Amino acid sequence: MANSKIRNFCIVAHIDHGKSTLADRILEKTETVAIRDMEDQLLDNMDIERERGITIKARAVRLKYTAKDGEDYIFNLIDTPGHVDFNYEVSRSLAACEGAILVVDASQGIEAQTLANTYLAIEHDLEVVPVVNKIDLPSADPERVCAEVENVIGIPAMDAPRISAKMGTNIEEVLERIVIDIPAPEGDTEKPLQALIFDSYYDSYKGVIIYVRVKEGTVKVGDNIRLMATGAVFTVVEAGFMDASSLVNNGSLEAGEVGYIAASIKSIGDTRVGDTVTNNDRPCDEPLPGYRKVNPMVFSGIYPADGAKYGDLRDALEKLRLNDASLSFEPETSIALGFGFRCGFLGLLHMEIIQERLEREYNLDLITTAPSVIYKVTMTNGEVQYIDNPTNYPDPALIQTAEEPMVKASILSPSEFVGNIMELCQDRRGIFKDMKYLDDTRVELHYELPLNEIIYDFFDVLKSRTKGYASFDYEMMGYVPSKLVKLDILLNGEIVDALSFIIHTDKAYGRARKIAEKLKENIPRQLFEVPIQAAIGGKIIARETVKAMRKDVLAKCYGGDITRKKKLLEKQKEGKKRMRQLGTVEVPQEAFMSVLKLDS
């Protein structure tokens, strides 16, 4: 099919603004899916995504549409992750498209992530097609929202389709806009192959499946391809596209097309999002621009609650990594928690998703340590160290300067919550940059925030202080010097390595007190009293005590039933195996977890 009949596009929307529902309607209208096969929200195929209403991994699907001009068109709908953790993946998905449908909720207007992704789309020269969704809601105000889009983003929006994806209203109008407004792809099928990888996943039969946008040239079954960043060479086994439910092996893909390649690739580490696929025998001169290796930003120790499950945890992490090249992990040992893994994540959401998948899909009971960012430490001898595990934080006497990563944060919110937001950002050591009104009722605030202040619970607190209305987005901006200290927690005088963390001096006292209180709540009274201390270096800055238990005795009448008594003690002993034994102190799992949620 001629390129003029192809449209490659994605949908940009805030969580809950209806991206997946609109995608489903488009699939339905193009009869890509038989109605009876429709499951709600087809494009999100992971349970967690569906439950959280967010899309984690991009997918691409090919649709056929007969437009009002009587011609048949091919639509390639590329789904994009909506969350800031996956910003880079979003940018690669956008680079595979010529246009983006911007879905805005008719009652809520633009949110921070939408804005960030729309700017990203404009940066990539995409044609942005605004669509106002949820016009069926009583609170819908499409005129106001269209005006907001024009004001804030600066694209014409007054004639944007007003739709209800849920009810199926005005979906054809969207389809026609795709045909009319979004440009057809360009590219020369005769040129050397240049294809952009925008997603990949591991299939246990076919190996790694890579999703590509062919920019120049042609790729067909039997070709030797080279992945330029890693230099790995493979022979193409399948090339084709995905319809709503399965991969269709077409034999080839040409410039302008979006589809998949299977080439018996064993390791997802070879296929990096953003990399360029070329023909090994007739390579292109240069890779496509924009590739970068994605580095983890947030680190946390993950341990099996039951030490015997270490092997299971390793297997599970390896399986997850098959599908998720951005997950990194390596073995680590904690005195308190035993054998586990130091895991690196793109961000907090990514971390939560991995933890949840480990627990849910692999039935593992986990203990995770407080998330940490990477600190940059310059030693007095000039050596530079990057520290992602508080345990490895050097002796302060040997540190010349310590630096922490900062982010540029943008927060969109109804103006009534500005006070609350400023208070929160101030509390998190934020530096106010500017604030602008998007319209009469909505503002956009810009702050510089230390990454370590937002990795715990910033988003949750922001939501609760703005009745759920504020949205939040951030990008990394590099390291700045900071007054950092390592805070240790001691139980019965012994440092519990898994509870140590790095923190700004000004926050240390408050945090120390809260942690001590939380631990006191979560460590049960036991045979001996448990002193809880928080210390910086050798200096104790907070203290609590779990008083010794007073009564644990069988002082009742019994007719010589000794076996029962013995079994009771054996059971008691067994029950304590679920606790971590640190010296004479028994610490339940919940105690480790409780310090991660200090404000809730």
Partner 1 sequence: MNTLGIYIHVPFCGRKCSYCDFYSLNYNKNNADLYLRSVLRNIQYYSDRSRIVDTVYFGGGTPSLLPAESIAQMIDEIKKCFRLSENVEITLEANPNTLTPDKLRQLRDNGVNRLSIGVQSMIDSELKFLGRTHTADRAKKAVLDAAEAGFRNISCDLMIALPYQTAESVEFSINELAALPVDHISAYMLTIEDGTAFDKQNIRDIMPDEDLTAELYLSMINCLKEKGFEQYEISNFAKNGFESRHNCRYWKCLDYIGIGPAAHSCYNGKRFAVMPNLKEFIDATHQKIYITDESPCGFKESAMLRLRLAEGLNIGECGEKSEDILKKIPTLQKAGYVTYEDGKLALTAKGFLMSNSIIEYLIF
Q: Contact positions toward partner 1, by CB under 8 A?
A: 525-529, 548-557, 559-566, 568-570, 572-573, 576, 584
Shortest distance, position 584 Cβ to partner 1, whole Å: 7
Q: Nearest to residue 327, comparing CAs of 378, 367, 279, 268?
A: 268
SS3 53: coil
Shortest distance, position 526 Cβ to partner 1, whole Å: 7
SS3 110: coil
Residue closer to partner 1 (CB basis): 473 or 586:
586
Residue closer to partner 1 (CB basis): 539 or 556:
556
The span from the CA of 252 to the CA of 407, in Å, is 43
- Distance of CA 43 to CAs 26, 261, 335, 504, 556, Å? 11, 19, 44, 42, 63
Shortest distance, position 523 Cβ to partner 1, whole Å: 15
- Distance of CA 595 to CAs 308, 325, 371, 393, Å? 24, 29, 11, 20
Contact indicator for 351, 326 with CB cutoff of 8 Å? no
Max CA-CA distance within the chain?
94
Shortest distance, position 571 Cβ to partner 1, whole Å: 10
Q: Which amino acid is at 289?
A: P
Residue closer to partner 1 (CB basis): 248 or 549:
549
SS3 66: strand
Q: Within 10 A of 530 (CB to CB), how many other CB atoms are there?
A: 24
Residue closer to partner 1 (CB basis): 300 or 526:
526
Shortest distance, position 553 Cβ to partner 1, whole Å: 5
Query: CA-based angle 444:446:448, to the nearest 5?
Result: 160
Residue closer to partner 1 (CB basis): 170 or 526:
526
Shortest distance, position 309 Cβ to partner 1, whole Å: 24
Residue closer to partner 1 (CB basis): 68 or 565:
565
Q: 457: burial class by Cβ within 10 Å (0-12, 13-18, 19+)?
A: middle
- What is the gyration radius of the CA atoms in the chain, in angstroms? 27
Residue closer to partner 1 (CB basis): 64 or 566:
566
Residue closer to partner 1 (CB basis): 539 or 551:
551
Q: Is 138 left (phi over 0), alpha (psi -120 to 50) or beta?
A: alpha
Shortest distance, position 493 Cβ to partner 1, whole Å: 13
Shortest distance, position 528 Cβ to partner 1, whole Å: 6
236: CB partners within 8 A, 6+ apart: 219, 220, 221, 222, 223, 224, 225, 261, 262, 263
Residue closer to partner 1 (CB basis): 204 or 563:
563
Residue closer to partner 1 (CB basis): 459 or 528:
528
Shortest distance, position 550 Cβ to partner 1, whole Å: 4
Shortest distance, position 558 Cβ to partner 1, whole Å: 8
Residue closer to partner 1 (CB basis): 95 or 530:
530
Which is it for strands 484-491 and 501-504: parallel, antiparallel or unpaired? Answer: antiparallel
Cα atoms in the Cβ-side hemisphere of radius 13 Å centred on 400: 8
Contact indicator for 285, 346 with CB cutoff of 8 Å? no
Q: Within 10 A of 160 (CB to CB), how many other CB atoms are there?
A: 22
Shortest distance, position 274 Cβ to partner 1, whole Å: 58
Cα atoms in the Cβ-side hemisphere of radius 13 Å centred on 402: 21
SS3 372: strand
Residue closer to partner 1 (CB basis): 530 or 591:
530
Q: Which residues of 128-137 are buried (b: 16+ CB within 10 A; e: fewer)?
A: bbbbbbbbee
Shortest distance, position 577 Cβ to partner 1, whole Å: 12
